[in-house]
């Protein structure tokens, strides 16, 4: 009985962690993209014609 409860508990944790995990990945990608744009702008290698296109 104990192992069944552990499996149910673990399944619930995995199910509840799915959506917050997706949000963290989305924020990480947005942050990486913003950082790349800021660093490129500061180092004056940002091609503004391509950026504003």
Question: Would you say 37 and 46 are in contact if contact means Cβ atoms under 8 Å apart?
Answer: yes
Degrees, nearest 5: CA angle 31-32-33: 90
Q: For the segment 1-53, what is each residue's pLDDT rounded down to a tens digit?
A: 688 999 999 999 988 988 899 999 999 999 999 999 999 999 999 999 998 98
For the chain, the structural domain boundaries read 19-53
Q: Whole-model pTM above 0.75?
A: no
Residue 44 backbone zone (phi > 0: left; psi -120 to 50: alpha; other: beta): left
């Amino acid at each position: 009985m104990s192992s069944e409860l552990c499996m149910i508990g673990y399944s619930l944790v995995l199910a509840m962690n799915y959506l917050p995990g997706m949000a963290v990945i989305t924020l990480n990608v947005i942050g990486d993209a913003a950082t790349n744009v800021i660093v490129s702008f500061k180092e004056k290698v940002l091609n503004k014609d391509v950026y504003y296109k």
